[in-house]
Structure 1
Amino acid sequence: MFPSRAQLPQASRKGRRWRVAAVAATGLLVASILPTTGDAATTAAKSGWGQGTLTSSQLLSLVGQMTLSEEIGMVHGEGDPPNSAAATASCTASAVGCVGEAGWIPGVARLGIPPLRMTDGPAGVRLAHVETEMPAPVGLAASFDSAAAQQYGETVGQAGRATDQDVWLGPMVNEVNYPTGGRNFETLGEDPYLAGQIAAGEVTGAQSQGLITELKHFIENDFENGRSSTNVLIDDQTLHETEALAFQSAIQAGAGSVMCSYNRVNYVYGCGNSTTLGEVLREQLAFGGFVQSDWGAVHKTTDLVNGDDIEQSSGSNFSVTALTNAVQNGTPAVAATADYPAYPAISGAQWKQALDTAVYQILTTMNKADLLEGTQYGSHFTGAPTPWVPARADLASLQAGDAKAAESIAEDGATLLKNDDTVLPLAKADAKKGGLLVMGPTAVASYYGGGGSAHVTPYDGSVSPLTAIQATAGAANPVSYVPGYDLDGQLVPASALSAPDPAAGYPNWTLTSTDTGFAGKPGLLRQEITTASVASGAQPVLDLDPGATPDQLDGTVNYTGASTIPANTAFRWSGLLTAPANPGGTNWQLKVFVGNQTSSQLFVDGLATAQRRVSIGAYPKAPSSSYAGLSETARSHDPANPALQQASYSTTLTAGQQIHLDLRVVAGASPAQIQLRWVPPDNQAAAINQAVAAAKTAKKVVLFAYDDGQEGSDRGGSDQAAGLQLPGYQNDLIGAVAAANPNTVVVLNTGDAVLMPWASAVKGILEMWYPGQEGGTATANVLFGKVNPGGKLPITFPASATQQPMYDPNCTDTSATGNCPMYPGVVGPSPYVAGATTSYRTITGMSVNGIYEGYRWYDEHGVQPLFPFGYGLSYTSFSYSKLSIKGSASASGVDVTFTVTNTGSVKGSATPQVYIGPSPDLPGSVQQALRKLVGFSRITLAAGASQAVTLHINQQQLSSWADAANNWIVGTGDRTVYVGSDSRDPRVQKGFTLKS
């Protein structure tokens, strides 16, 4: 029996440590994970979570049979492996297989232990081929629906197993603490109770299909700026009462693995922090699965001793050489350095113990996922150990059902923020005689999801919001469209182009004698490139094909629709671009739009230096053929040419300045399309003027606006005021359009909060989040009232950049040596690294939030947000009545019962939320929220119908963590329960005395 890591030597730590709560003591590792009594194997009736038949002693025996190198192979990742033949066939009809896995460990084939394959998340299954892209997790959280969360998990679980995956790197349980955090769209909101309940549903759903979930990122990685170095200083109460609670709920739901984080916590890196990984995760939260590092987050081999079980994405620290030496010879004590605390000497036996423990915890989770049945102890053992995996569904068979799930969850998360004069729902009559006007880029090219490791490549063919709106309005009611926020520009006109003149010394051209007649004329000279080089797949050469199409002058480059580049040909256009007078400035963009190309390039300023400015690779690419997988700025927003993709080159041009252009495109087996466009400096003013003119004649305007959420950086950098703005000139556009037509509805595709300086000027605001691949249909269904919006905000929307929890009025210097600890990635004090980054947590002499995160901060400081946590309107209305409270702390909590009635005229979903006020009996040193969420339920009621709802508040929800007691303390005495539709709208409330 392997001792727990708590019995191993640990790195010394500075600062405070968390104390172990009495309820969390677990003793020896194996005893805390699986019972050791009764070794009789139970035969699994079917594949799914908890169906593995191996007992704890059998798992221990498997570990004991491994060689040292085999054990080491289990604790670090390797490159992308080949897939099984079955999974290959199910991935794509062309049988090119599934690639792009996040990582894997190889298993031990001779013992019947299969590889463990891992896919990114948490918005679906992220591999290098098409999958169903689910709504962003923040949209799922907006549903306030545990059943929807379980359906979300089941959908991902089935798809993950169908594509040969074993571990899903999700859900992401980090809180939205920074309103401009780059990965806020991946999270489940700002409240730990809500996040925990939604995460628990996802865990249950995914693991019911046999896909292991991996909660991330443990812990406090709530930002992207400086995430690999930022030090989060945090006190005991803040940790226990915020993010750790969400992890706790998901762990109690059975999550099989946890990912440790990049950041430091109280000066020690997350993946080598024995306090957070040992005392908090293993002992207090009783986690018994395996811990895996974020990719590149392991810093020392001793991280294995301190709680991390698997290093990804390689074995640079958990290497064969390092761990073999450690096991055979032990390691000496290491003194503290500028970056790391001191480490004690560790004997070889202790290293072996740590390695055994890590492998045992990996096998424990694999067993629960039914992945060890081919071992000598498994139900599929046939005389010789052979890796065995449960049957997997065919991916194609799941597509239709998964799309319906994605659409349903997008509709559930739709959050109506404003609906003055019942501007919504739309009616077909609104579109009569062109009365309905749609604008905004995400109306044409749907914004499916954010970027980074959460980005899923969705199936092609999904309906855009504009198309869905047009279809709902019907052919007899035409819907108009103008870009408004124009990301595409316009065709470069012939007046700005001129054919090359060989006499001017323009280099490297191969021209015929007739080409000199084109010199200086408006347009670009079009030439066909050698077709032999195209057929061979080589880079097209400049020599003309003697039998090619004669050279010609193209006034504009616009080969779309019926006019295309023939299959298996290649063309180039050459000449000069002369900048006209620039009334709006000197900043220009040159854009190349292409479709069905093998490749396309734009060279600028001469072929002598081959200065390529734009290069667009082959499209479609097998198996990654999804056009929808491109970023918003890489797609066309022209309804007449929606399938084109684009790339841009920005340049400064003064009036009359000339630059050389060489544009090329290679067509593959299908005809290709190409356009040469530009965005002049006055494009913004022209686009707004066009939108305003159209809005003045429309009955209603539906304007789509968006932001960009990306892994790796926070929106606006460390400038939260900038990050909270909609990109570009969208705010200016909305303000101008609303002034021209007050019947304007703004549809937001954002992953988190944005400022809305125009909120009072528009009549409707609908937050659709990043709604996944079926978001177009879902959006139209909500706009026209086929679906009644019932989503609630899982985050608070601030009224201004200075009225939110992370604004520090004492922070003045955001430079590399500045004094802004409230925002991560900015340098601050540290005992290790001079100027190591710090976060906003409780620090002596600095601004402190403590447990007052999200809506709790707004309540504590009396700040009115733009829209509060839990807020969301409906096309109907609801009342609350008959509130009663029964129970006590000694009876494991209280039951809150109330009645909800649909007082409106249409069917709709209500989401009653239960909040509890502070206790007068707790010590003054214990922070307490004015109100904290302790329960919610989503119910659907017909018009006039009523339903009694009972929600249980358990003992921990009635308690606060008291540092002095090192434990949870029940908050007895006179308390108040609030029931309402959001955190600022208590419809009914009742005082009661909580007895211990």
Structure 2
Amino acid sequence: MRTSRWLRRAGAASAALLLIPALGSAAAPASSRPGGAWGSGTLTDPELISLVAEMTLAEKTAMVHGSSDTTCATTLPEGCVGQAGWIPGVPRIGVPPLRMTDGPAGVRLGHVETALPAPSGLAASFDTGDALAYGRTMGAAARATGQDVWLGPMINAVNFPTGGRNFETLGEDPYLAGALAAEQVRGAQGEGLIAELKHYIENDFENGRGSTSVTIDDQTLHETELLAFQAGIDAGAGSIMCSYNRINDLYGCGNDTTLQTILREQLAFTGFVQSDWGAVHKMTDLVRGTDIEQPSARNFTDAALADAVAHGTPAVAATADYPAYPAISAARWQQALDTALFHILSTMNKAGLLEGTRFGSHFTGTPAPWVPPRPQLASLRSGDAATARSLAAQSATLLKNSRQVLPLSPKDKVVVMGPSAVASYYGGGGSAHVIPYDGSASPYQALSSSSPKINYVPGYDLDGALVPSSALTAPDPAEGYPNWTLTDADAAFAGKPGLLRQQITTDPVAPGAQPVLAAGGTDQLDATVDASGLPAGTGWRWSGTLTAPANPGGTGWQLKVFVQNQAGSQLFIDGLTTAERRVNVNAYPAAPASSYAALGESARSHDLTNPALQQATYSAALAAGQKLHLDLRLVTGTQPAKIQLRWVPPDNAARSIAAAVAAASSAAKVVLFAYDEGTEGSDRGGSDQAAGLLLPGYQNDLITAVAAANPNTVVVLNTGDPVLMPWASSVAGILEMWYPGQEGGNATADVLLGRVDPGGRLPVTFPASAAETPMYDPACTDTSATGNCPRYPGVIGPSVYLAGSNATYRTLTGMADNGIYQGYRWYDKHGVTPLFPFGYGLSYTSFGYSGLRVSRSPGGAIDVTFTVRNTGSRAGSEVPQVYVGPSPDLPAPVQQAVRKLVGFDRVSLAPGRSTQVSFHVDRQQLSSWSAVAGRWLPGTGARIVTVGGSSRDPRLTATVVVH
């Protein structure tokens, strides 16, 4: 089976790599488009060593840290805005620079690209063929935009259900993550793009990620996340990104055990190790295994490295943060620097990037950088959009379908609700955010085009209303607020001094008079009435007084600013010097023009809406007649800009829910879209996991009320990971669409209308309550940002390096407490019933299993064969899964799961058709790591093999004696 190929090759591949460093790679698929293929480089190891020897010391040190790309603006057709990193190469000897792009859900640059579904959706597909297509799409698009290194895939495990970056990763099981990551690597590198596995290792959370130490035992380390990294390495991954966090007290980018003993020796990795941005803490990290520091030379400085190579470095005493370091000789520094360069060049050689050197096939007599031909970005667009739509549909995971409420019938009178129905939730925030191509249909647009009986009611209103003219008056010059025009100094807030100045209000305006805005003549701050918008390259300023209504309806008002196509904008409330009253509206300057839909829960609203429109909010407790001075500034971008000032009253939720209930009562069915917000830099709910598992805002209240009014309510979830569903028993249908990328609207409609069967399965366990999760701590009472909880986010304790010193970092003990029992293994170990188990998902049809046969195979492996039949009346997809129970022969200190995944496949069958499914489960999958022995111990004896549709769905069971 394709899902176990990497395991069958693991032993042989590791042995070969240990014997021949820096040579060979796993077989890659032939490139489907122009742009080269992995393994096309022709240089030998001795030739690579010669290139290193030809470099000057200054050229060497410049290659081991990031720098500013000074050439991309003139050499790349799309420029370099948003490029993640760059190292300069050595053009003198034909070594080109390396350009790096964020991922993992598409190419993240400052211009439009294909936004693929979030990797959590890819994981839900349980399809290695999809993973290969995902990688190929990334590879071709990145190379078309001049990029050489993809900072992905991310394969950290979902150990914390509220982790901010869970949507970027591939689920909670290492076998599933490894099988998918391996194909992503083959796909991307088959197009000539270097894949960088991240974040090595245990960066499974965002709160305190830069300092927290993950306490983890040796068996857990080897049997959980490392297995996925091993799979990616065996597939030929050219790079590894070391993580922010500490592992057993040592920072990830300076940890000898993880970077040398495990990564280089045990996992036989031969590529280069690059730091996460700012994750290097000492120059000695170069000696301990990090080859490139990013984003600049904070520690790997040219001068310090040159001095170390010339004179060595003295011993360093322990501090509260770091252990003592011995003296390092000049020769050892030279060796470390040359080794790092060899790792970098050997990877570039595999990508065919060194063929312009004197040893290369494109050497013309004088060394000059040569780069394999790159595809044209425009030529990829339509095909990549089709791939994105297919991947999104493949990820669709049907969790409930009472009374066959789905698929929708053309005869049904359906009301659609929720903000992500009218503005597709493309993806999460942070370094994974991609600016998508404009023009893709929203779910509601795609649905309503199929039937006139499908209508929309907001239900969950994020927009509010335009601030009315009755609440706005011009400023009084006597109060120090004149009628403003934008000066050069004013424009500097956006870094754009000297822009064309535009006067906004008429001159003069009497104190207390209504302002008349120059943009279209409206008496509200709604500069959208002119279809052309505010001219590109101009600066604007509005100044005035807002007066609260006579009956404000309570506290909790929000002022909202919506901006499209800006270079920068800010709103100042009651003065220019109070930082907490200054609202910045985050900008993506090169975003395309699009429909002016206003959405977003917070300043990260680009997570939910088309990023062409950004939003920021300011919350206030308003008394009747209270006045606020507003000073709004805007510098337009390269296209005409639009701007709105809106407000949301405190009774907005109640009014929205009431309108939704009224609409639901008269409909045959309701399709209600709900979402959460995942982003890099913070975990959902902060340190309060119970809060983080809830849908934000009043979405749960809305769903509960609508389901009470109409039992035929279907909830469509756009989440990146698990959420609680207090309304699960009340609704008829639940469809998880994850963050489905730019074509998610069409894909969602395809599934809801029955054009595509929802064949996705859960790559993560959905808990029944916050208290029933692996990292829940019943003793935790402090849920602040610096909470003191043992399992998460960690306990501040005494330094391990200096006895009695003040604490300098926190230690997370949850991994050690749980051991290998992560994800569904924890639920099985403790007998906890989840809301929906790992591997679970429904179809519009039904499937039967039969004929299980399990036999021993040479080398301590087993073969599993059975038949799957479509027993329903529709074509559909099933994901048969194979789990194996514990070995009776392993010693007691070795932990063993009640069952662990050892095989899966995705099969599509017409009604009445069947297929035979076969798996080869190799010796390592049947083994366990022994910390005492320091190796894998074979799991011999009678092993129970279970086959079914999830971790809690034992359709077929057999026992086999493993030798």
Is the pair's TM-score, using the shorter chain for normalization, greater than 0.5?
Answer: yes
Q: Secondary structure at the match of 1:838?
A: strand
Deviation at 1:632, TM superposition (A): 3.4
Name the counterpart of 1:225. 207
Deviation at 1:702, TM superposition (A): 0.8
Rounded Cα–Cα distance in structure 2 between residues aligned with 1:915 and 1:611:
53
Rounded Cα–Cα distance in structure 2 between residues aligned with 1:105 and 1:240:
32
AA in 1 matched with 2:958 = K
Name the counterpart of 1:517. none
Name the counterpart of 2:436. 458
Change in 2 beyond 3 A, CA 1:789/1:550: closer
1:923 pairs, out of 875, 879, 891, with 891
Name the counterpart of 2:307. 325
Rounded Cα–Cα distance in structure 1 between residues aligned with 2:474 and 2:785:
50
Q: State the identity %.
A: 65
Aligned-residue Cα RMSD (Å) equals 3.4
AA in 1 matched with 2:445 = T
1:87 pairs, out of 76, 79, 84, with 76
Name the counterpart of 1:837. 810
Change in 2 beyond 3 A, CA 1:777/1:307: same
Deviation at 1:106, TM superposition (A): 0.8
Alpha-carbon displacement from aligned partner over 1:658-689 (angstroms, at most 9, x marks no partner)? 23445577788987654432111111111111
TM-score, normalised via structure 1 length: 0.87
Deviation at 1:565, TM superposition (A): 6.1
**Kept after mapping to 2: 8 A contact 1:604/1:611:** no
Rounded Cα–Cα distance in structure 1 between residues aligned with 2:142 and 2:786:
45
Name the counterpart of 1:393. 375
AA in 1 matched with 2:236 = G
Rounded Cα–Cα distance in structure 2 between residues aligned with 1:535 and 1:214:
39
Rounded Cα–Cα distance in structure 1 between residues aligned with 2:677 and 2:881:
30
Name the counterpart of 2:28. none
2:619 pairs, out of 634, 650, 672, with 650
AA in 1 matched with 2:23 = L
Name the counterpart of 1:164. 146
Name the counterpart of 1:824. 793
1:65 pairs, out of 48, 51, 54, with 54
AA in 2 matched with 1:63 = V
Q: Secondary structure at the match of 1:809?
A: coil
Name the counterpart of 1:676. 645
Equivalent positions of 1:695-734 (< 5 A) are: 695-734=664-703
1:384 aligns with 2:366: yes
1:747 aligns with 2:716: yes
Rounded Cα–Cα distance in structure 2 between residues aligned with 1:343 and 1:535:
49
Name the counterpart of 2:405. 423
**Kept after mapping to 2: 8 A contact 1:444/1:642:** no
Equivalent positions of 1:804-883 (< 5 A) are: 804-813=773-782, 819-828=788-797, 830-832=799-801, 834-835=806-807, 836-841=809-814, 848-883=817-852
Equivalent positions of 1:428-439 (< 5 A) are: 428-430=410-412, 435-439=413-417
Deviation at 1:851, TM superposition (A): 0.2
1:490 pairs, out of 458, 462, 465, with 465
Deviation at 1:528, TM superposition (A): 13
Deviation at 1:147, TM superposition (A): 0.4
183-192 or 439-448, which moves further after superposition? Answer: 439-448
Deviation at 1:752, TM superposition (A): 0.6
Name the counterpart of 1:10. none
263-272 or 579-588, which moves further after superposition? Answer: 579-588
Alpha-carbon displacement from aligned partner over 1:221-250 (angstroms, at most 9, x marks no partner)? 111111111111111110111000000011
Rounded Cα–Cα distance in structure 1 between residues aligned with 2:639 and 2:331:
64
Change in 2 beyond 3 A, CA 1:438/1:374: same
**Kept after mapping to 2: 8 A contact 1:497/1:576:** yes
Alpha-carbon displacement from aligned partner over 1:169-197 (angstroms, at most 9, x marks no partner)? 00001100011111101110000000000
1:262 aligns with 2:244: yes
Rounded Cα–Cα distance in structure 2 between residues aligned with 1:66 and 1:333:
29
Rounded Cα–Cα distance in structure 2 between residues aligned with 1:965 and 1:585:
66
Change in 2 beyond 3 A, CA 1:24/1:824: farther
Equivalent positions of 1:145-164 (< 5 A) are: 145-164=127-146
Rounded Cα–Cα distance in structure 2 between residues aligned with 1:944 and 1:134:
34
**Kept after mapping to 2: 8 A contact 1:457/1:628:** no
2:260 pairs, out of 268, 278, 289, with 278
Change in 2 beyond 3 A, CA 1:542/1:640: closer
Rounded Cα–Cα distance in structure 2 between residues aligned with 1:667 and 1:225:
35
**Kept after mapping to 2: 8 A contact 1:588/1:652:** yes
Change in 2 beyond 3 A, CA 1:226/1:151: same
1:34 aligns with 2:26: no
Q: Which runs of 5+ in 2 are unaligned?
A: 1-9, 26-33
**Kept after mapping to 1: 8 A contact 2:560/2:617:** yes
1:799 pairs, out of 763, 768, 777, with 768
Deviation at 1:648, TM superposition (A): 2.5
817-826 or 949-958, which moves further after superposition? Answer: 817-826
Deviation at 1:745, TM superposition (A): 0.7
**Kept after mapping to 2: 8 A contact 1:592/1:674:** yes
Rounded Cα–Cα distance in structure 2 between residues aligned with 1:926 and 1:635:
45
**Kept after mapping to 2: 8 A contact 1:597/1:668:** yes
Rounded Cα–Cα distance in structure 2 between residues aligned with 1:617 and 1:494:
26
1:447 aligns with 2:425: yes
Name the counterpart of 1:374. 356
Deviation at 1:966, TM superposition (A): 1.3
Rounded Cα–Cα distance in structure 2 between residues aligned with 1:671 and 1:25:
56
Rounded Cα–Cα distance in structure 2 between residues aligned with 1:420 and 1:470:
23
AA in 2 matched with 1:540 = Q
1:897 pairs, out of 865, 868, 874, with 865
Rounded Cα–Cα distance in structure 2 between residues aligned with 1:240 and 1:541:
65
Deviation at 1:60, TM superposition (A): 1.2
Alpha-carbon displacement from aligned partner over 1:455-474 (angstroms, at most 9, x marks no partner)? 1111111211111111122x
Deviation at 1:834, TM superposition (A): 4.0
Name the counterpart of 2:3. none
Deviation at 1:156, TM superposition (A): 0.3
Name the counterpart of 1:56. 45
**Kept after mapping to 2: 8 A contact 1:508/1:607:** no
Q: Secondary structure at the match of 1:327?
A: helix
Deviation at 1:875, TM superposition (A): 0.5
Rounded Cα–Cα distance in structure 2 between residues aligned with 1:679 and 1:254:
53
Alpha-carbon displacement from aligned partner over 1:74-133 (angstroms, at most 9, x marks no partner)? 111111342275631xx3xxxxx2322111111111111111111111111111111111
Name the counterpart of 1:540. 502
1:126 pairs, out of 101, 108, 116, with 108
Rounded Cα–Cα distance in structure 1 between residues aligned with 2:960 and 2:738:
39
Deviation at 1:538, TM superposition (A): 3.2
Name the counterpart of 1:314. 296
Rounded Cα–Cα distance in structure 1 between residues aligned with 2:656 and 2:379:
44
AA in 1 matched with 2:624 = A
Deviation at 1:544, TM superposition (A): 4.9
Name the counterpart of 1:516. none
Change in 2 beyond 3 A, CA 1:485/1:314: same
Deviation at 1:874, TM superposition (A): 0.6
Rounded Cα–Cα distance in structure 2 between residues aligned with 1:27 and 1:782:
46
Rounded Cα–Cα distance in structure 2 between residues aligned with 1:239 and 1:672:
51
**Kept after mapping to 2: 8 A contact 1:406/1:773:** yes
Name the counterpart of 1:789. 758
**Kept after mapping to 2: 8 A contact 1:821/1:839:** yes
Change in 2 beyond 3 A, CA 1:684/1:828: farther
1:185 pairs, out of 167, 191, 213, with 167
Equivalent positions of 1:187-226 (< 5 A) are: 187-226=169-208
Change in 2 beyond 3 A, CA 1:271/1:610: closer
**Kept after mapping to 2: 8 A contact 1:291/1:308:** yes
**Kept after mapping to 1: 8 A contact 2:259/2:288:** yes
Deviation at 1:443, TM superposition (A): 1.0
Q: Which runs of 5+ in 1 are unaligned?
A: 1-20, 37-44, 92-96, 512-526
Alpha-carbon displacement from aligned partner over 1:135-175 (angstroms, at most 9, x marks no partner)? 10110000000000000000000001101111000000110
Name the counterpart of 1:15. none
1:238 aligns with 2:220: yes
**Kept after mapping to 2: 8 A contact 1:267/1:830:** no
Change in 2 beyond 3 A, CA 1:201/1:582: farther
Change in 2 beyond 3 A, CA 1:352/1:342: same
Rounded Cα–Cα distance in structure 2 between residues aligned with 1:659 and 1:436:
43
